Amino acid sequence: MKYFLPFASYYRSHIKNFAHITSSLSKLYSKDVVSEITKERRDAYEGIKHELKNAPLLILPDFELPSKLYTEGACSQGLGAAHHQRPIVDGEAREGVMCYIFRKLKDSEARYGAIHTECLCSVWALEKLHCYL
């Protein structure tokens, strides 16, 4: 399982809540953690396999159209954002995802209140995706 995570990380922009799903697998890289397969880690492994099979198709950005940025910083484990746009396909406007981004909270950030975490998430997402916005 330890070698599966780097492979799956290549597709992290296609999978919503990637960091949240793989948090128990990420702990395998810590020096003080025993590398045993627990139910939580097996569930995370199966969850990522399922998400890889069913990942949505990402759309290419159209800089002529407006886009939306959805953020989620209220989770105690990490920050996440999704960049959406509504391109016109076959004469119909459909909202599609351009990318998902996630990162784990640092130890000091995990102690932030909900409002500060949401603000941190918004600033982080705007910095990360500034070239698309």
Q: Where are the domains of the chain?
A: 4-53, 67-128
Instruction: Count CB atoms within 10 A of the CB of residue 77.
Output: 14
pTM over 0.85: no
pLDDT value of residue 4: 81
67-128 belongs to CATH 1.10.10: no
So what's the pLDDT on residue 2?
Answer: 66
pLDDT at position 1 over 90: no
CA angle 54, 103, 26 (to 5 degrees): 75
Q: Using the structure block, give the residue that is written with the tokens 């969850």.
A: 47
Task: Give the highest mean pLDDT range of 6-15, 34-43, 114-123.
Answer: 114-123
71-122: pLDDT as tens digits: 988 777 789 899 999 887 777 888 889 998 988 888 899 899 989 999 999 9
